[in-house]
Amino acid sequence: MTTKIEFEQFTFENRARTPEEFADIAKELRRDVIKSLYLARSGHSGGSLGTADIFAVLFFGAVMRYDPTNPNWNERDRFVLSAGHICPILYASLARAGFFPVEELRTLRKLGSRLQGHPGIDMELPGLETSVASLGQGISIAVGMAINDKYLDKNERRVFALTGDGELQEGSVWEAAMAAAHYKLDNLCWIVDNNDCQIDGRVHDVMSIYPLDKKFEAFNFFVIEIDGHNFSEILSAFQTFHQNHKNKIGKPTVIIAKTKMGFPISFMNDSYEWHGIPPNEQQMIQALSELL
């Protein structure tokens, strides 16, 4: 028996919203993630679900400027998903923002799809800024974009980038951090998805990255720590970054978002085993029933 999977075509506007509205959007994004991963039969559930609340605010809370009808709009803010493996949540967000038909989410990881297993711009997916996935590289690309905007084009654009926390074990990440601070990139907002989970276990067991706040402070970042599942805190963190950018504080902003991998699905929540697997049919049905 195979359950028929439907993707209802509707989009969300990018505007000021209440926490309740964000909760509804995050729920829809999570449903998209569950369905597309189930159909793909492989992929990364944990981080995609755990960051859905952040994506809901980032894409649909007037945090980033973008125009789905003109993906290459030269005044848009740019988002780089350095943790490329959690692209199902990015694809869901782009689809729900109107960059491409929501129905396309069913092609995730399939031959010929624009939704590659890890993002690749050669497939020309609207809204996707760069190919990413080898961990640590996306954040350096974001630093390059921010250097461009601040020093060469001298515009008001902003660059948002999201890394995992296990990803911070890659040494080049700290090269990027050094450069971001050296070039005083107050137009860069770095989000760390701090779920303390990676494939092999807890980040603090595999190779500790802590203390994270002090590390970034020592690198001369403006550090914000939040509960990554609290919409008010998420929104307020992004607003602080907006202020930092407007006030030209001469420092990059990092938002360390404490999240739970797989949140809030009962059998996935805070479980690193869900880093790199999709739900089977029964798990998919169960997960969707928890997201009503």
Partner 1 sequence: MKVFKLLGKKATRFGFGEALVELGEKNDKIVVLGADVTTSVLTSFFRDRFPERFFSIGIAEQNATTIAVGLALSGKIPFFASYSAFSAFRNADQLRISVCYNNANVKIGGGHSGITVGADGATHQSLEELALLRTLPNMTVVVPCDYLETKKATHSIAEIYGPAFIRFGRAPLPYFTTEDTPFTLGRAEIFREGKDVAIIACGTMVWEALIAAEELQKRKGISAKVINNHTIKPIDIKTIVESARECGAVVTAEEHQVHGGLGSAIAEVLAKNYPVPIEFVGMPDRFGLSGEPEELLEYFGLTWRQIYSSALKVIERRDYKSGSNHIYRKINEIVSFSDELL
Residue 17 Cβ vs partner 1, minimum distance, rounded to whole Å? 30
Burial of 113 (0-12, 13-18, 19+ CB in 10 A): middle
SS3 28: helix
- Radius of gyration (Cα) for the chain, nearest Å? 18
Least distance from C-beta 31 to partner 1, angstroms? 30
Nearer to partner 1, 161 or 234 (CB): 161
- Report the distance separating Cα 276 and Cα 257, nearest Å: 20
DSSP assignment string, 117-167: SS--GGG--TT------STTHHHHHHHHHHHIIIIIS--S--EEEEEESGG
Name the nearest CA neighbour of 83 among 184, 159, 194: 194
Could you list the residues that contact partner 1 (CB under 8 A)?
120-122, 129-134, 136-137, 140-149, 151-153, 171-172, 175-176, 178-179, 182-183
Query: Please, which residue, 112 or 171, has the CB nearer to partner 1?
Result: 171
With H, G, I as helix, E, B as strand and everything else as coil, classify residue 205: helix
Which residues are paired to 193 by β-bridges? 164, 257
β-partners of residue 202 are 197
Using N-to-C axis directions, what is the helix angle for 171-182 and 137-147, rounded to 10°? 10
CB of 13 to partner 1, least distance (A): 27
Q: Most distant CA pair in the chain: distance in Å?
A: 58
- C-alpha separations of 34 from 45, 57, 97, 126, 229 in Å: 7, 19, 18, 22, 18
CB of 227 to partner 1, least distance (A): 30
Contact partners, residue 169, CB within 8 Å, separation at least 6 = 203, 206, 207, 209
Beta-carbon contacts of residue 170 (< 8 Å; ≥ 6 apart) = 135, 136
For the bound state, the minimum distance from the C-beta of residue 255 to partner 1, rounded and expressed in Å, comes to 20
The residue among 53 and 77 lying less far from partner 1, judged by its C-beta, is 77
User: Which CB, 137 or 198, lies closer to partner 1?
Assistant: 137
For the bound state, the minimum distance from the C-beta of residue 174 to partner 1, rounded and expressed in Å, comes to 9
Q: Which is nearer to partner 1, 50 or 164 (CB)?
A: 164
Nearer to partner 1, 123 or 285 (CB): 123
Nearest approach in angstroms of CB 130 to partner 1 is 6
User: Whose Cβ is closer to partner 1: residue 216's or residue 231's?
Assistant: 216
- For partner 1, the closer of residues 58 and 142 by Cβ is 142
Least spacing, CB of residue 207 vs partner 1, in Å: 18
